[in-house]
Structure 1
Amino acid sequence: MIDLQGKVAVVTGGTSGIGLATVKLLLEFGADVALCGRDRQRLDEVAAELVRAFPSRRILARPCDVLQPGQVAHFAQTVQDELGNVSILINNAGQGRVSTFADTDDASWENELKLKFFSVIHPTRAFLPQLEQSQDAAIVCVNSLLAAQPEPHMVATSAARAGVMNLVRSMATEFSPKGVRVNGILLGLVDSGQWRRRYEQREDASQTWEEWSGALAQRKHIQLGRLGRPEEAARAIIFLATPLSSYTTGSHIDVSGGVSRHA
């Protein structure tokens, strides 16, 4: 049993999917949790749901655009003032961009690189002074299998994800003397709003989600024969964020259902 009583955790992009699943697991294991997102209405709805489910936990939900350093710094100060020093930071980056080299213009490259890098850099920079005060601090970055196994139809995202994987290794090396571990997960195809929207646009309206996603998994050569579930990714995040992985830093866990082909 993981006991996170007395610990404070932060999850960026914590209002849906893997981020929300991670928030719920952290609360289940006893942590107090701060989460952020850009949609205030969605944040309020999620916060109300979480307070009902975990009435004994301290929960802080605030709007914050992680690409705006001023907003992130304010969020970090608010968390410290209301919950105390953070010992767990989950950097949960955004979705991918479908584009090839031929149809990706400079602005698209800049937007994608900025999103993937600074959604990690800004929160890490803002919360690092707090993390350094913890005896078992951990940062976990939610990354994609594209970092190690690029796809030509997602060229900008693949390149950015590879850079983030390198960044995790670099931060782990730099932060280890300060007692802060840094790791990441490499996601394959996981059930998300993006895939649900594609399902709603399916050609055969008679197909169930299980049938449609199972066929997708077969086309993508996923050995487990299905898409991952957000809570499965969240469990890998929790492992890396807690003393269960106390001797692990600078590493990534593959959460792809066997679709990976990289060494």
Structure 2
Amino acid sequence: MSMIELDGKVAVVTGGSSGIGLATVELLLEAGAAVAMCGRDEARLRRAEAQLRETFPGCRLHAATCDVLKPEQVAAFAASVQATLGNVDMLVNNAGQGRVSTFANTEDAAWMEELQLKFFSVIHPTRAFLPQLEQSGQGAVVCVNSLLAQQPEPHMVATSAARAGVLNLVRSMATEFAPKGVRVNGILIGLVESGQWRRRFEARPEADKDLDWAAWTARLARQKHIPLGRLGLPVEAARAILFLASPLSSYTTGSHLDISGGHSRHA
């Protein structure tokens, strides 16, 4: 039973077919919201949709393939959501993985690709859904960001810089949209279990083959000086998203919640 009741509300989650996005869709459906989700991978999206419909029989769910970097696809998705579910009350911008590279080995094309992904995966959906959010009376946008925005890593220079820009963008949009009744917030995630980390685990050196997932991630957490001693779970990030998207956070805008297990060195 969800602690938050969202009956009659409509939510959109980009990148909703796996990880934090999928966990967020599950929590929103559990709370009674109608949910639209999108992703680029058709097969993965349909697997996620089938799983959700089995878990939540009778749910109001709309799943569509959409590349958030292509504004015409995002506009078509926004129109289809409105026609299928009604005006949107909550938008969760959740797209993009991290790029491992240093300043020395990041080419111009890689910089442009990373900056475009991090900015326009927020800009395009927000622009497309803003007219609907303004009609809500309780419109909310939540952007999934990274602790890198405040705590850059030299081996992820392009991602860190782009994430910092998105943190600033959230604050700017929050100020501009407040008179329209639309709140904008974000979360800053630390190390959260994901497909990326699973692939790194599978590719671990022969010397580490005796370590199972729990032991390997616990050692990683120690190496990264995470006080809680483990990686976060997608659902733990999703709970923070649900709070910021819902009326429970009705007096919060332009803010970010730290979901890093204490990894942040900022007060």
Partners of 1:148 and 1:26 in 2: CA distance? 28
Partner Cα distance (2:74, 2:64) in 1: 10
Equivalent residue number for residue 149 of structure 1: 151
Aligned-CA RMSD value: 0.6
> In the alignment, what sits opposite 1:104?
106
| 1:73-102 deviation digits (Å, cap 9, x = unpaired) | 000000000100000000002111011111
Alignment of 1:129-140 (within 5 A): 129-140=131-142
> 75, 84, 87: which is aligned to 2:86?
84
Residue 225 of structure 1 is matched in structure 2 by 229
Cross-structure match for 1:190: 192
CA shift digits 1:12-53 (9 cap, x unpaired): 000000000000000000001000000111111111111111
Paired position in structure 2 for 1:121:
123
Match of 1:41 in 2: 43
**1: CA distance, partners of 2:185 / 2:239:** 14
- Tell me the equivalent position of 1:258: 262
User: What percentage of residue pairs aligned between the two structures are identical?
Assistant: 73
Aligned equivalents of 1:37, 1:85: Cα separation in 2: 20
User: TM-score of the superposition, structure 2-length normalised?
Assistant: 0.98
63, 66, 69: which is aligned to 1:61? 63
Residue 209 of structure 1 is matched in structure 2 by 213
Q: Distance in 1 between matches of 2:260 and 2:251?
A: 23
Q: In 1, Cα distance between the equivalents of 2:89 and 2:37?
A: 14
Moved more, 116-125 or 195-204: 195-204
* Alignment-mate amino acid for residue 123 of structure 1: P
Q: Distance in 2 between matches of 1:44 and 1:243?
A: 30
Gaps of 5+ in 1: none
Q: How many residues align?
A: 263
Residue 133 of structure 1 aligns to a residue whose secondary structure is: helix
Structure 2 gap ranges (5+): none
Divergent runs of 4+, >4 A: none
C-alpha distance after superposition, 1:99-132 (max 9, x if no partner)? 1111111000000000000000000000000000
Which stretch shifts more, 196-205 or 29-38? 196-205
- The 2-side partners of 1:69 and 1:81 are apart by 18
2:159 & 2:45 partners in 1: Cα distance? Answer: 27
**Structure 1 counterpart of 2:219, which letter?**
A
Partner of 2:249: 245
Q: 1:19 aligns with which of 18, 21, 24?
A: 21
Match of 1:94 in 2: 96
Partner amino acid for 1:10? V
Q: Which moved more, 1:94-103 or 1:49-58?
A: 49-58
- Aligned residue identity for 1:185: I
Equivalent of 1:166 in 162, 165, 168:
168
Aligned-pair CA distance for 1:262: 2.3
1:70 and 2:69 matched: no
**What TM-score, normalized by structure 1, do the two folds share?**
0.99
1:2 aligned residue:
4
Q: Measure the CA separation in 1 of the matches of 2:33 and 2:27.
A: 9
Q: Equivalent residue of 1:183, what SS?
A: strand
Tell me the secondary structure at the aligned position of residue 136 of structure 2.
coil
Take 1:96 and 1:49, find their aligned partners in 2: how far apart are those partners?
Answer: 27
Instruction: Report the CA distance between 1:166 and its aligned residue.
Output: 0.2
In structure 1, C-alpha distance between the alignment counterparts of 2:111 and 2:33, rounded to whole Å: 38
Tell me if the contact between 1:93 and 1:143 (Cα under 8 Å) persists in the aligned partners. Answer: no
In structure 1, the residue corresponding to 2:239 is in which secondary structure?
Answer: helix
More deviation in 198-207 or 176-185? 198-207
